[in-house]
Amino acid sequence: MREQSDKFHEECAIFGIYGHPEAGNLTYLGLYALQHRGQEASGIATHDGHAFYQEKGMGLVADIFSQDRLNRLKGHAAIGHNRYSTTGDSVLKNVQPVMVEYALGTLAMVHNGNLINTDLLRDELEAYGAIFQSTIDSEVIIHLIAHSTEDRLLLRIIDALERVHGAYCLIFLSEEGLIGVRDPYGFRPLCLGKLKDGFVLASESCAFDLIGAELIREIEPGEVIQINEKGVFSYKPFPKTPTAQCVFEYVYFARPDSYIFTQHVYGIRKRLGKELAKEGAVSADIVIPVPDSGVPAALGFSEESKIPYEIGLIRNHYVGRTFIEPQQSIRHFGVKIKLNAMHEALEGKRVVVVDDSLVRGTTSQKIVKMIRAAGAREVHMRISSPPILSPCFYGIDTPTRQELLAANKNVEEIREYITADSLTYLSMEGMFRAVYHSESGENYHFCNACFSGNYPLPLTEKQLQLRLFEEGKS
């Protein structure tokens, strides 16, 4: 059993470092700090001025990289990737970095995000003689670079990305150093840091904390950063567009101790809880979080509502890997494997339960029942984000529309389904009030397609069909 979770799944983390004698080791540590963004597989590529080295494997960072493998990752420059499969099968050849030989030498690349016009590009590239060895859409970018007629890698990358639509943060490793790119919409985060004489790129700033690097700033949407022995150079080659940063990074994906999209995540999550307390006020004895993702919002809810914060659910810290569910009558432990309700804290209480989001509702239903079985008198579910109505096409592994509870039931029906005494979602305005610390609740820079169905990039025909088909069905 993979960790069953009533959450969206993040797909990837990327990391890169240039100018440090232990680039491989530091990439290993960076990926370790970013493990929450992808647990399926990891890989690291390094360069030492002479040769390129690469190690990949399925599983967790700490299990893949033995001392031997780390020793083989020589060099002063490195990139790495944690993968949570969104496109491509779960096989080793799909694990990043992608490393190839092409006209200008060796090139390795890591990618966080999801492209939306790869089918078209793939057909076109194959017509020109391209062969594809993996099923990941990132391979298309490499082919576009290889087919570019520019004579410098930087120009080839820009050339290639002009053809590509979708969400991407990329780091390239070549003999010349690193090149980092964030797409013009800025869907996914990418930060720049400094460690002694070297420079570091990472999906989230929490990776810098572990290795002792200093956060300089974030790569801007549409920015291309070149890092080599001469320093860091910034380019803005793409036409300006309104940004569409993923608001769900704030809601759930990012680690609370990270700084992304110019703000600390933890503070926003607490404010989401405060807004939620305003919108979903209820008379209760205690506020408890669904650990660990609900903790900051529950604290915010408690502060705002003055209802005492309590620990009502205990998390088993040995979950997170494969767990064999015995195959007989005793089955379907689901959330019990991960959480246990504490009788002492809950008995006789009117309980507010705070979670960050509600996707399929199956886990929430089990949690409500578990809390009630532990003696709670009332169970009020509060969700610190709006109902999720639409799938994500920009790099997040979301269920189909049919599995999205809020796409098929109204709030009252959902409440009934999860058997709570009351249920409140945070409103869209409430969410953006928390994000912008303002009263307006308007959205300036963020993608909220999963809550609203407003996709910043036009959908492809295939995606439209999928959507219509699902709407027809539901």
E strands present in 282-390? 286-289, 313-315, 339-341, 350-355, 378-383
Establish if 164 lies at the interface with its own copies (CB under 8 A).
no
51: CB partners within 8 A, 6+ apart: none
d(CA 18, CA 34): 18
Candidate residues 47, 111, 165, 255; the one interacting with its own copies per rule CB under 8 A: 255
Establish if 89 lies at the interface with its own copies (CB under 8 A).
no
Establish if 142 lies at the interface with its own copies (CB under 8 A).
yes
d(CA 9, CA 148): 34
Query: Between residues 119 and 470, which has the closer beta carbon with respect to its own copies?
Result: 119
Here's the x/- map for its own copies, 374-403, by CB under 8 A: it reads as ------------------------------
Establish if 133 lies at the interface with its own copies (CB under 8 A).
yes
DSSP structural state of residue 291: T
Secondary structure of residue 299 in the 3-state scheme: helix
Q: Which two tokens stand for residue 224?
A: 């291309």
Contact status, residue 224 vs residue 180, Cβ threshold 8 Å:
yes
Choose one: 8-16, 61-69, 350-358, 420-428; the region binding its own copies (CB under 8 A).
61-69
Alpha-carbon radius of gyration of the chain: 23
Cα 398 → chain centroid: 11
Choose one: 219-227, 273-281, 313-321, 353-361; the region binding its own copies (CB under 8 A).
313-321
Which spans in 3-117 are helix H?
23-33, 61-64, 67-72
Q: Is the Cα torsion angle 141, 142, 144, 149 positive or negative in sign? A: positive
Query: Between residues 125 and 167, which has the closer beta carbon with respect to its own copies?
Result: 125
Candidate residues 314, 465, 468, 473; the one interacting with its own copies per rule CB under 8 A: 314
Site for its own copies in 69-88 (CB under 8 A): 70
Amino acid at 306: K
Query: Between residues 14 and 98, which has the closer beta carbon with respect to its own copies?
Result: 98
Establish if 341 lies at the interface with its own copies (CB under 8 A).
yes
Query: Between residues 146 and 389, which has the closer beta carbon with respect to its own copies?
Result: 146
Site for its own copies in 401-430 (CB under 8 A): none
Candidate residues 345, 396, 407, 418; the one interacting with its own copies per rule CB under 8 A: 345
CB of 348 to its own copies, least distance (A): 13
d(CA 384, CA 445): 20
| Distance linking the first and last C-alpha atoms of the chain | 29
Query: Between residues 139 and 275, which has the closer beta carbon with respect to its own copies?
Result: 139
Site for its own copies in 18-47 (CB under 8 A): 21-22, 25-26, 28-29, 32-33, 35-36, 39
Candidate residues 236, 343, 437, 462; the one interacting with its own copies per rule CB under 8 A: 343
Establish if 235 lies at the interface with its own copies (CB under 8 A).
no
Q: Count interface residues toward its own copies (CB under 8 A).
A: 87
Establish if 248 lies at the interface with its own copies (CB under 8 A).
no
Establish if 462 lies at the interface with its own copies (CB under 8 A).
no
By annotation, the residues acting in catalysis are 12
CB of 126 to its own copies, least distance (A): 4
Give Cα separations from 238 to 37, 63, 157, 331 (angstroms): 27, 40, 12, 53
Give Cα separations from 68 to 33, 65, 71, 74, 133 (angstroms): 21, 8, 5, 11, 28
Candidate residues 154, 342, 389, 466; the one interacting with its own copies per rule CB under 8 A: 342
Establish if 59 lies at the interface with its own copies (CB under 8 A).
no
CB of 464 to its own copies, least distance (A): 24
DSSP structural state of residue 90: S
Site for its own copies in 266-285 (CB under 8 A): 266-267
CB of 157 to its own copies, least distance (A): 14
Contact status, residue 314 vs residue 378, Cβ threshold 8 Å:
no
Contact status, residue 276 vs residue 426, Cβ threshold 8 Å:
yes
